[in-house]
Structure 1
Amino acid sequence: MSSHPGWFTHPSNTNLQIYWNGQQWSGSRLKSQAKPHDPIYPEGAQLPAAPPGWNAMPKPAKRPMGCFGFILITAGVVVAIVIALNVYGSFRNANPTDEDKQAESQVACENVVKNNLKSPSTASFSNEGATGTNGQYTVTGDVDSQNSFGAMVRNHFTCESDGETVHLTSLG
């Protein structure tokens, strides 16, 4: 099925004309000079149907992303990673191990000991250890700190922890 080459009014947009080269439609188009009462196709013209999915209008060119788009994508990835790590951390800390509980008791005991020193900023802990299980822990160790005269003094300490509270049983 062929017809003579020429410009024809586009079937779905009467403001455009498309070119038929006698074999196939070209992507070329011009603004139509047709008047509203002119027929869309010349009388007697047999034109083949456009192939499936054919669109005479070219696709708009993609705009490059640019710096701002890159920054937004990077920020989105960072936020997603932070959220994933927080979710993982919350699942991981949901059931602390006995070692985790001992370490928490040890840190809590150090804080109680510091509160009972003349110069807590100079405190240096050593020989620390925690014993016990099931939330009942005894923490022992040594602390070096300055006394009221600025001299470094070593004291031995013992704390008892029940998982909720820490009691300093000896410091001296």
Structure 2
Amino acid sequence: MSQQPHPEPPRPAAPEPPKNNPKQVAIGCVIILALIAGVIGIAVAMMDSSNGGDGKPGDHAAAIICEDFVKQRLKSPSTADFPGVTDADYAKTTTLSDTKPWKYKVTGVVDSQNGFGAIVRSAYVCTVSTKDNDTWTLNDLDMTQR
């Protein structure tokens, strides 16, 4: 007696994925875009409030620009080591002009290699100005080895 294979019962059809209602999709996209616009708006407002909202650069920007000008004067610019923001020796910035062109005086120190390869500390006083926070002008730079 030969056994006949039992026929397999038919498989149930896969459930249909839910159909997207175009109106619901449009509402979802509008909500997402509104959230993104809100986050961008808050970020811009925070940046403007940190510098008075008038486009005036902050003291930190002037300090970083002065670091670039100081590096250009060093024997070995790649070895320049400026104190971090939390260090006591971090650059001190004074605003010399609150109107355009904004002018800053930055006083700080940098460690770098001299011509003989020894690490030396130099003090600097840097005066910079800007009209648009994009283009900076070096007005004066005095450096002395300590």
Q: TM-score, normalized by length of structure 2?
A: 0.54
- In the alignment, does 2:106 pair up with 1:139? yes
Per the alignment, residue 150 of structure 1 pairs with 117
Which residue type is aligned with residue 92 of structure 2?
Answer: G
Per the alignment, residue 123 of structure 1 pairs with 80
Q: Distance in 2 between matches of 1:160 and 1:142?
A: 14
- CA distance 1:115–1:64, change in 2 (3 Å): farther
Runs of 4+, deviation exceeding 3 Å = 60-65, 79-87, 97-100
Which residue type is aligned with residue 112 of structure 2?
Answer: S
The within-5 A match list for 1:16-95 is 61-63=16-18, 84-94=38-48
Contact 1:118 1:148 in 2 (8 A): yes
- CA distance 1:120–1:91, change in 2 (3 Å): same
Q: Distance in 2 between matches of 1:148 and 1:142?
A: 18
Contact 1:160 1:169 in 2 (8 A): yes
Q: Distance in 1 between matches of 2:138 and 2:40?
A: 28
Q: Distance in 1 between matches of 2:35 and 2:125?
A: 42
Q: TM-score, normalized by length of structure 1?
A: 0.47
- CA distance 1:101–1:64, change in 2 (3 Å): same
Structure 2 counterpart SS, 1:124? coil
Structure 2 counterpart SS, 1:94? helix
- CA distance 1:132–1:148, change in 2 (3 Å): same
Per the alignment, residue 142 of structure 2 pairs with 170
Q: Distance in 1 between matches of 2:79 and 2:68?
A: 13
For structure 1, which runs of at least 5 residues remain unmatched after alignment?
1-59, 66-72
Q: Which moved more, 1:156-165 or 1:85-94?
A: 85-94
Q: Which has the higher contact order (CA 8 A, sep 6+)?
A: 2
Q: 1:161 aligns with which of 113, 120, 128?
A: 128
Which residue type is aligned with residue 86 of structure 1?
Answer: I
The structure with the largest helix share of the pair is 2
